[in-house]
Structure 1
Amino acid sequence: MAEKLSKALDKKVLFNPVTPEAYRNFGFPGADDLGNMFQFKRDFNDEFNNARNETFAKELNPELQNFDMWLSTNASKIPIE
């Protein structure tokens, strides 16, 4: 994502990986829950992805976009300082 954003925005975007353990210590409401979600995604990525069906999702919403499609439409709307 960072690489695609960098290209679309013509500005270097860095990926800063944060562990679920660190995320839980951010101290805002919901940080524990988000940390748990990120840990599940990290530890059970195959199960997480297998529970999702892209074809069925597109049947439910034919306008569903992948990140490349969304970026081509919305990159110009992202404010750059």
Structure 2
Amino acid sequence: MGIILGLIIGGLAGWIAGNIMRGGSFGILGNIVVGVVGGLLGSVLFKLLGLASTGIIGSLVVSVVGAVVLLWIVSKVKSKA
């Protein structure tokens, strides 16, 4: 996957995850960061579960799942601090 396509998927995944978790987005750069880190986290989680994804839609699903998990972890850490 190209870098531009990865950033577009990351931004879209971050926006979707932001809407799922707290009802808003994080701005363009924030969405990209959340989506890309979520994509990395999601790919690790999917590999641990023995699942695989292919294509753009599969990458988007993995990124959204990872971004939601990332935002959930961040919210738990913030609430304890």
| TM-score above 0.5, yes or no | no
TM-score (norm 1): 0.26
Work out which of the two has the higher radius of gyration on C-alpha atoms and give 1 or 2: 1
- State the structure with bigger RCO (CA 8 A, min sep 6), 1 or 2: 2
TM-score by length of 2: 0.26
